[in-house]
Amino acid sequence: MHLPDLRNWLALARRRHTSAEAAPIVVEAGAHEEAPEDPHERALRERLEAVAAATPNPAWTPRRLEVTDLLWGKGCMWPGGTDEVMRMAVPFGLSGASSLLLVGAGGGGPALRLAGELGVWVGGFEADPVLLEVAADRLHGAGAALAKRTSVQPWNPAVPAFRKQAFHFALSIEALRGPATAQIVAAIRGAVKPGGQVSILETVAPQPLDAHDPIVAAWCRLEHRAPPPPGTDWVTAPMSQSGFDIRVTEDVTARHARYAVTGWKLLLREMKTNKPPRRRAAAVVAEAEYWMRRIELLRTGRLRVMRWLAIHDGRAKTG
């Protein structure tokens, strides 16, 4: 499946699921009804709905999480899921003697795989209250051995603070949004022991994006991002200024886009034979609206996904 395939599917879904008067999305008759929920899952969904209702303009809802779990894997918020996280983490040489700071812990999936396969002690931090709630639930329910090696805590990207020199390594996944990028990078560096490695994955814009461009504006609105992301110096400059020795700057856009279209291809193939419940179908259409725009911006080069690998050289002051 390529971008035109997703565009054609989305246009068809709009025609089928949208009435003339209003409803942003009204799902066609014939979709399967919801199966009875497990009591624990129902209780979790109700907690998540309450947290989302108390959050101004929430980026994440229980229905959206159902869709992203299907697209990227349980507890993952991005294409490639835990495979991409492992690709970033394995070069560190993690083991049961290592500790890892994970900034942008998502719904708990990456922490569980890192701890389960590599034995590393993972300290996760998540800024979104809905994701924080679901991650805490999943880590707690993973069993005593994994729960012992994983944790998730809230953090404030506007005032970042992590325990000083508490970790051997760090991963940051789409966590540097907002005006405090330099402070976040400095806080990550301060949390890593001298000689430790740090890997950062971020979406950037090689050239300034026009916030009034309809595609850019729609993408920013759907991703709850304002303003659009700046260029690579937005990450590279504060890393250098904080004293990181940057070893790798890699453009991973092609892999990110490939993972994205593969995830959608598999989901749409599944939906052909197993129609989703009504509310989930609406959530699938809403998520497709977002990914249509993101993939278009990636395809045209207006967005890039970059990875940085750096070493705490132990010389410049922390914090």
Stretch among 135-149, 195-209, 267-281, 288-302 having the lowest mean pLDDT? 267-281
Across 258-272, average pLDDT = 92
Instruction: Please check whether residue 20 lies inside any domain of the structure.
Output: no
Q: Look at residue 14 in the predicted model and tell me its pLDDT.
A: 53
Residue 315 scores a pLDDT above 80: no
Q: Look at residue 314 in the predicted model and tell me its pLDDT.
A: 72
Q: What pLDDT band is residue 228 in, cutting at 50, 70 and 90?
A: confident
The per-residue pLDDT for range 80-98, each reduced to its tens digit, is 999 999 999 999 999 999 9
Across 151-162, average pLDDT = 96
Q: Look at residue 9 in the predicted model and tell me its pLDDT.
A: 59
Domain span at 232: 3-12+57-312
Instruction: Please check whether residue 253 lies inside any domain of the structure.
Output: yes
Q: Look at residue 13 in the predicted model and tell me its pLDDT.
A: 54
Is the pTM higher than 0.85? The answer reads: yes
Residue 77 scores a pLDDT above 80: yes
Q: Look at residue 226 in the predicted model and tell me its pLDDT.
A: 82
The per-residue pLDDT for range 108-137, each reduced to its tens digit, is 999 999 999 999 999 999 999 999 999 999
Domain CATH number, residue 128: 3.40.50.150
Instruction: Please check whether residue 72 lies inside any domain of the structure.
Output: yes
Number of domains present in the structure of the chain:
1
Instruction: Please check whether residue 102 lies inside any domain of the structure.
Output: yes
Instruction: Please check whether residue 25 lies inside any domain of the structure.
Output: no
76, 68 Cβ separation under 8 angstroms: yes
* Secondary structure in 3-state letters for 156-207: CCCCCCCCCCCEEEEEEECCCCCCCHHHHHHHHHHHEEEEEEEEEEEEECCC
Instruction: Please check whether residue 33 lies inside any domain of the structure.
Output: no
* Average per-residue pLDDT for the chain: 88
Residue 161 scores a pLDDT above 50: yes
Instruction: Please check whether residue 127 lies inside any domain of the structure.
Output: yes
Instruction: Please check whether residue 21 lies inside any domain of the structure.
Output: no
Q: Look at residue 37 in the predicted model and tell me its pLDDT.
A: 75
Q: In what order do the strands lie in the sheet with 167-173?
A: 150-154, 121-126, 99-103, 167-173, 192-204, 304-312, 244-251
